[in-house]
Amino acid sequence: MSKKPLILGIETSCDETAASIITENKQGNPKILSSIVSSQVDVHKEFGGVVPELAARSHIEKIEWIVQKAINESGKKISEIDAIASTAGPGLIVCLSVGLSFGKAFAASINKPFIAVNHLEGHALSPKLSSNLNYPYLLLLISGGHSQFLKVKGLGEYKRLGTTIDDALGEAFDKTAKLLGIEFPGGPQIEVLAKKGNPKKYDLPKPIFNKGGCNLSFAGLKTAVLKISKNIKTEKEKFDLAASFQRTIEEILYKKTKIAFNEFEKQDNFKEKIFVVAGGVAANKKIRSMLTNLCKKKNYQSIFPPVELCGDNAAMIAMVGLEKFKLKQFNNLDYPAKPRWPLDEKAAFLKGAGIKL
Pairing of strands 16-24, 7-11: antiparallel
Instruction: Output the DSSP codes for 111-151.
Output: T--EEEEEHHHHHHHGGGGTS--PSSEEEEEE-SS-EEEEE
- Predicted confidence at residue 348, as pLDDT, reads 57
* pLDDT for residue 285: 95
- The predicted pLDDT at position 72 comes to 98
Q: Which amino acid is at 351?
A: K
Per-residue confidence (pLDDT) for residue 1, from 0 to 100? 44
In contact, 50 and 44? CB cutoff 8 Å: yes
In contact, 331 and 156? CB cutoff 8 Å: no
**Residues β-bridged to residue 154:** 157
pLDDT the model gives residue 356:
53
pLDDT tens per residue across all 357 residues of the chain: 468 999 999 999 998 999 999 999 988 899 999 999 998 877 777 777 788 899 999 999 999 999 999 999 999 999 999 999 999 999 999 999 999 999 999 999 999 999 999 999 999 999 999 888 889 999 999 998 899 999 999 999 999 999 999 999 999 999 999 999 988 778 889 999 999 999 999 999 999 999 999 999 999 999 999 999 999 999 999 999 999 999 999 999 999 999 999 999 998 878 899 999 999 999 999 999 999 999 999 999 999 999 999 999 999 999 999 999 999 999 999 999 999 999 998 875 544 444 555
Q: How far apart are CA 208 and CA 166, in angstroms?
A: 11
Q: What pLDDT is attached to residue 355?
A: 54
The predicted pLDDT at position 2 comes to 66
Distance of alpha carbon 174 from alpha carbon 74, whole angstroms: 34
Residue extent(s) of CATH 3.30.420.40 domains in the chain: 7-127+309-343, 133-304
Q: Measuring CA to CA, which residue among 76, 104, 62, 56 is closest to residue 6?
A: 76
What CATH number matches the domain at 133-304, 3.30.70.1520, 3.30.420.40, 3.10.580.10, 3.10.20.30? 3.30.420.40
Predicted TM-score of the model (pTM): 0.93
The CATH architecture to which 7-127+309-343 belongs is 2-Layer Sandwich (3.30)
